[in-house]
Structure 1
Amino acid sequence: MTQYHIAVVAYQDCLLSAAYGFAEIFELANEACQAASLPTHLTTHQLSEKEIQAASWDKQYKDAFHAILLPPSLNQASYSQTNPIIKDFLIHQHRHGAILCSACAGAFFLADTGITDKRVMTTHWALESALRERFPKQPVDTSKILINQGDVITAGGMMSWVDLALELVQALTNTHIVRQLGKTLVIDTGKREQRYYQQFQPSFDHGDGAILKVQHHLQGDYAHVQRTDTMAQLAKLTPRTFLRRFAKSTGLNPNEYLQRLRIQVACDTLEQTTLPFETIALQVGYDDVGSCRKAFRKITGLTPSAFRQRFVSPLTH
């Protein structure tokens, strides 16, 4: 019998549904392994910060874990600063072969170790800017729900802890067990992307009044052609200075920003109306419907029809 010991770090204000849910999914995996005569067993250990600190010199916990899981959190204060106890624990466990795994805000603990400085990781799309600001060397791709790099696995959205649990089960057992779990839990075990659910939420609190003025203008006039020199005049800046400050404040150049804004409006319109996409494309400012369709797929990862099918109830049609 192969025994795998998995630690769930139940830090202060972590999402309890995830902390306990991990253990429940792994127990269901054990039942599936038993039914399939697979000699594998997953044992879950839920550890608080106090337990980690108290066990720091205990051989039982020092080298025992095959994987460490960092759940999501609803409280920014719980992950916005360095936690030396958890940081040292993660570094030590990784050095001894543990797979480090995070879901949503758990990525902040993982990034704080420095282990992922050259690894692309994901987190909840709404936390991307905060993660980049705190860890500027950290590569981030929030279009992905899950990124598995063998010894480091990161998952994106609030409920991505389920995806993370299934991915770890896959790594420690096999595909048959994961499929059986999907049937038992009645969930889709197929691949998804976080960008299907991502919304464009531009930052307005950067403190640059000139750029903010242009942003407000674009919010109300996104459907019309926006020339860089005209936007620079509105900001009362030279075009070169405007481009530099716009990118610094928003993380995008003006054309990218406008495209993201238009596609977000298109997404909202697809969800809220029954208008054909051709009409929506014209309304948001595209003369060429093909170009709008291409931009839509690039940003959301779905065609307009697939987007509507995924997010709109048939009763609304």
Structure 2
Amino acid sequence: MKHISVLVPKGDVAVASIEGPYKMFSHVNEFLQREGKPPAFKIELVGFSRESLLDNGMYTLNTHRTLADSFKTDLIFIPAVHGDFKKVIKQNYEMTQWVANQYKQGAEIASLCVGAFLLASTGLLQGKKCATHWLFANDFRKMFPEVNLVAEKIITDECGIYSSGGAYSFLNLLLYLVEKYVGRDMAILCAKIFEIEVDRGSQSPFTIFNGQKDHDDESIKKAQSFIENNFQQKITVDQLASMLALSRRNLERRFKKATSNTTVEYIQRVKIEAAKISLESSRENVNEVMYKVGYTDSKAFRVTFKKITGLSPVQYRSRYSRLN
């Protein structure tokens, strides 16, 4: 039987990301027992004390164990904790050290949504892939540059460390782990019971690109503003470099450092974000939208759109148009 520890950190914890794994794996045990099979998991909540207050005292949660108890676990879930991430990490230092020690003893670890910030603070993600909510991707990159953030992914699995994308996409990671430990049939059953879309690997369709302005490079901010105000035109890197009196190489280096995107990537993402808005809110056909955002090559537009969103323009409109 595999021992699962669902952590209860300090701070503004997303209760659903504690209840989610507890419910999912408890139901797996129930399904197995109905088939006359032994349970596969022992699921326990682990916190700093036996009683934890969540959501500023709105919920009281009783844990099965505390960090001070002596026990070994097999799989640890780190739920999402919101707020000032540096403060959250400091509040939960003892817990992250406990996680690191359990990993060294053979435990696997799974972070849910922005629980990735706590996972990364253990130091175990250095050089490894990790997913988190796309909304906090820039904050994560700044705090943990040594981690290979794959912001478009919903699930990562590397060296016994798992992570999931944003919000309720953690349910896909839970299904992935059910399949890994119990089998595909059980994962499909859980997907049907909980009504979860299976085998969803990308959170790109949900991403909203707002640009990354939380930096102090004023020249790059000017370049960003120019791109955002003139995306309908053809914009080149040389044009921007000349406008800012920078060499192309210097512009590229500073742009990447400030925004985590190359200049061309940023231009593409601004154009595609504008195209997404048009596809959601207008009846313009795909070619009209393409020309409106400054593309003249339909193949290049479709390839870039799918690369960024994970969907074709037609698929995107079908899913998100307010006029359907």
Tell me whether 1:35 sits opposite 2:6 in the alignment.
no
Once residues 88 and 241 of structure 1 are traced to their aligned partners in structure 2, the CA distance between those partners, rounded to angstroms, is 41
Match of 1:74 among 73, 79, 82: 82
Tell me whether 1:179 sits opposite 2:179 in the alignment.
no
Asked whether the 8 Å contact 1:82–1:112 carries over to 2, the reply is no
Question: 2:233 aligns to what?
Answer: 224
Once residues 32 and 273 of structure 1 are traced to their aligned partners in structure 2, the CA distance between those partners, rounded to angstroms, is 47
Stretch deviating more after TM superposition (162-171 or 116-125): 162-171
Stretch deviating more after TM superposition (297-306 or 32-41): 32-41
Asked whether the 8 Å contact 1:79–1:106 carries over to 2, the reply is no
Give the partner amino acid of 1:45: E
Match of 1:130 among 119, 139, 163: 139
Q: Deviations over 1:105-136 (max 9, x none)?
A: 11111112222212211111122221221111
Q: Deviations over 1:214-247 (max 9, x none)?
A: 2111111111111333322332434333232222
Judged with a 3 Å threshold, the aligned counterparts in structure 2 of structure 1 residues 143 and 86 are, in CA distance, closer, same or farther, namely: same
Give the partner amino acid of 2:234: V
The aligned length equals: 309
Match of 1:158 among 164, 167, 186: 167
Write out aligned runs for 1:258-269 (5 A): 258-269=267-278
Question: 2:48 aligns to what?
Answer: 49
Question: 2:219 aligns to what?
Answer: 210
CA shift, 1:67, in A, is 0.6
Once residues 273 and 232 of structure 1 are traced to their aligned partners in structure 2, the CA distance between those partners, rounded to angstroms, is 34
Q: Deviations over 1:200-225 (max 9, x none)?
A: 22111211122212211111111111
Judged with a 3 Å threshold, the aligned counterparts in structure 2 of structure 1 residues 191 and 197 are, in CA distance, closer, same or farther, namely: same
Tell me whether 1:10 sits opposite 2:8 in the alignment.
yes
Which has more strand, going by share of residues? 2
Once residues 35 and 277 of structure 2 are traced to their aligned partners in structure 1, the CA distance between those partners, rounded to angstroms, is 45
Asked whether the 8 Å contact 1:144–1:193 carries over to 2, the reply is yes
Question: 1:21 aligns to what?
Answer: 20
Judged with a 3 Å threshold, the aligned counterparts in structure 2 of structure 1 residues 297 and 29 are, in CA distance, closer, same or farther, namely: same
CA shift, 1:153, in A, is 0.9
Once residues 287 and 57 of structure 1 are traced to their aligned partners in structure 2, the CA distance between those partners, rounded to angstroms, is 63
Once residues 23 and 205 of structure 1 are traced to their aligned partners in structure 2, the CA distance between those partners, rounded to angstroms, is 37
Q: Deviations over 1:282-306 (max 9, x none)?
A: 1100011111001111111111112
CA shift, 1:55, in A, is 4.6
Judged with a 3 Å threshold, the aligned counterparts in structure 2 of structure 1 residues 56 and 18 are, in CA distance, closer, same or farther, namely: closer
Match of 1:88 among 59, 78, 97: 97
Q: What root-mean-square deviation, in Å, do the aligned CA atoms of Structure 1 and Structure 2 show?
A: 2.1
Question: 1:311 aligns to what?
Answer: 320
Stretch deviating more after TM superposition (24-33 or 236-245): 236-245
TM-score, structure 2 normalization: 0.88
Asked whether the 8 Å contact 1:103–1:123 carries over to 2, the reply is yes
Once residues 308 and 34 of structure 1 are traced to their aligned partners in structure 2, the CA distance between those partners, rounded to angstroms, is 44
Once residues 55 and 187 of structure 1 are traced to their aligned partners in structure 2, the CA distance between those partners, rounded to angstroms, is 32
Once residues 149 and 33 of structure 1 are traced to their aligned partners in structure 2, the CA distance between those partners, rounded to angstroms, is 28
DSSP-derived class of the 1:148 partner: strand
Judged with a 3 Å threshold, the aligned counterparts in structure 2 of structure 1 residues 36 and 279 are, in CA distance, closer, same or farther, namely: farther
Question: What 5-or-longer segments of structure 2 have no aligned partner?
Answer: 51-62
Give the partner amino acid of 1:66: D
Give the partner amino acid of 2:78: L
Asked whether the 8 Å contact 2:48–2:66 carries over to 1, the reply is no
Question: What 5-or-longer segments of structure 1 have no aligned partner?
Answer: none
DSSP-derived class of the 1:97 partner: coil
TM-score, structure 1 normalization: 0.90
Asked whether the 8 Å contact 1:210–1:236 carries over to 2, the reply is no
Asked whether the 8 Å contact 2:8–2:79 carries over to 1, the reply is yes
Question: 1:58 aligns to what?
Answer: 69
Tell me whether 1:192 sits opposite 2:191 in the alignment.
no
DSSP-derived class of the 1:180 partner: helix
